[in-house]
Every structure is written in structure tokens, then in C-alpha cells.
Amino acid sequence: MFYLSDNDVHELEQKANDIRESTIEMLIAAGSGHTAGPLGMADIFALLYFRVLKHDAKNPDWEERDRFILSNGHICPGLYATLAHAGYFPEEELLTLRKFGSRLQGHPHKGTLPGIESSSGPLGSGLSQAVGMALALRMDNPYTSQYVYCMTGDGEINEGQIWEAAMLAGKEELHNLIVIIDRNAIQIDGYTKDVMPLEPLREKWEAFNFDVQEVDAHNIRMMHDAIGKAQAVYGQPSVIIAHSIASKGIDVFERDFRWHGNPPGKGPEDRVPKGEQVETALRKLRTLGGAIEASDID
């Protein structure tokens, strides 16, 4: 892991905001899709693809690459935006999200788009795939420096398959597996504490022989340090519980579970009328949450 300067952090924060802008533009063009999760994970997407992962956009199947598995596949607009900004395919293609014939499907599909390591859809299955990949890499080389990163949603942890996969990962001591949980405390039907309480979440993962860290998902330096520590762990898989803000960057959408599966223009109206949601979302992101006056934008 390389040192992050203050300038590096600033550049990654700006890249994360670029990813958020592209995500919203995609959702508006599609007229459907998920807002909360992609915006909440944009900082981590930026950190992974522009600092952490060993990958090559010009050679997506490079044998020495790390693997990134998006188990909570419904937040794929954020991953698609990241891959496009990283050079895997033209950014203009982002506006084809969810359209007939598009490579940008509503859930990632391996073999359709470069940079996608696994197909998703049924929640919970991504961690099983990641465990298999981590185990295979270690079988090929017990001292492998290739890591498998698996992002999951906290609502997704309701799935029993998550815990079956975790049990195997702990038993096999997969030090090259790093799980990142989007702990935004929401899911499509409400807040996780009401739908299915998860706490004590840290202790549950520790019981499955995982090294556990809890971080602020929007503190890029903290998240970078947590990944470095996870890479240094041996004899255990790692999990990073990343406490995030759903719909981060659009303050009038933030922390509201009703934005889980709605795009701007189709969300709840109690804070912003439907007819103003598109303009509001873009203005908030293009002015960095209101920190820059709209008149200052070229």
C-alpha cells in the first residue's frame, strides 16, 4: 500500500464526486435504478480502482490482477461509472444503462462488460463466489499477493448464504479475502434495525474467524489504512464494516431508505417534489453538496 498525500486524498474525493455525478446522470437517462447505495459507496469505489486494486483497464483479464466482486449487484451504476472513469469502456456508454441491448444491465453480468468479475442478482451469492476465487488463488500459490475484494450490503447480510460462505472462509483462513460491508443501515423495505436487526455485527464476524475493522466509509484515508491493515493480516479473512451515508452527496436524499431503489424523478416528495428532484440532485453534486456556488461552475 502506498502513502496517501493530502493531494492524493483530494484527488480521490473529486474522483468519487465524478462517479456520483455519472451515476445520477445514468439513473436519470434510464428512468430506473438505485440511488442510495451507489452514491454511498462512491468514495470506496474511487479508492479501490484509482489507488488499491492491481488491475489493468487495457488488459482486463490480466492474470496477476486482484478481483473485485460486487455481491450487492443492484448498486452496479456506481461500479459501471467507476469502470468507465478508469478506462474500461467509453463514458458515453454509461447513458445506455438498463436499455435494451445495452452492456450495462440492471445487475452486472460477467462476459458482457470488461472489468466485471462475476454475475450477480440473487443477494448473498457474491461472497460465495469471492470465497471460491480466493481459495483458488491460494491453491495456485500459497503465498499469493492477489486479493479478492467482495462488497456486500448490510441488508444482504440477512441472507443465510452469506454466513455459509463466511464459515468456509474462516475455516480455510483465507487471508487474501477482504470483505467490505456497506453499513448504511437501510434496505428496500426500511431501516435494517426494523427489518432484521444485525447487531452485534462485529462480534458475529469475529465468531466466524474474521479480522474485523469498523471505519467511516467517507474518510478515504481511514479506509485506505484499513485496507492496508487487512492486507497485512495472515491466517484470517478480513471484513471492513464501512459505515456509510445512503445517497451521500445529495443532502435532501441522504439516509432515507425510500431512495434505495428509486432514481431522481421517482422518489419521495416530502422533501423535494418529483419535478424538482433531477435538477436538485445534479445541482447538489455539481456544487459539491452546496459548498460551491452554482455561479462558480463553468
Q: Which of 199, 186, 189 is nearest to 254 (CA)?
A: 186
At residue 287, the pLDDT reads 85
Identify the bridge partners of residue 177 per DSSP, sorted by sequence position: 148
Q: What is the pLDDT of residue 3?
A: 87
> What pLDDT digit, counting tens, does each position of 122-149 carry?
899 999 999 999 999 999 999 999 999 9
Looking at residue 156, what is its pLDDT? 97
pLDDT at 296 over 90: no
DSSP letters of 203-231?
HHHHHTT-EEEEEETT-HHHHHHHHHHHH
Domain 6-296: which topology? Rossmann fold (3.40.50)
Look at the block and give the residue holding cell 455459509.
Answer: 164
pLDDT higher at 127 or 297? 127
Residue 1 confidence (pLDDT): 67
Domain regions of the chain by residue span: 6-296
Average pLDDT, the chain: 95
Write the pLDDT tens digit of every residue in 62-106. 999 999 999 999 999 999 999 999 999 999 999 999 999 999 999
The per-residue pLDDT for range 175-234, each reduced to its tens digit, is: 999 999 999 999 999 999 999 999 999 999 999 999 999 999 999 999 999 999 999 999
The pTM of the full predicted model, rounded to 2 decimals, is: 0.95
CA distances from 253 to 190, 250, 270, 278 (A): 14, 6, 11, 12
**The pLDDT of residue 126:** 97
pLDDT of amino acid 295 = 39
What's the pLDDT tens digit per position in 94-125? 999 999 999 999 999 999 999 999 999 889 99
Q: What is the pLDDT of residues 148-157, one digit of tens each?
A: 999 999 999 9
Q: Does residue 293 have a pLDDT over 70?
A: no
Dist. CA 169–CA 181, nearest whole Å: 16
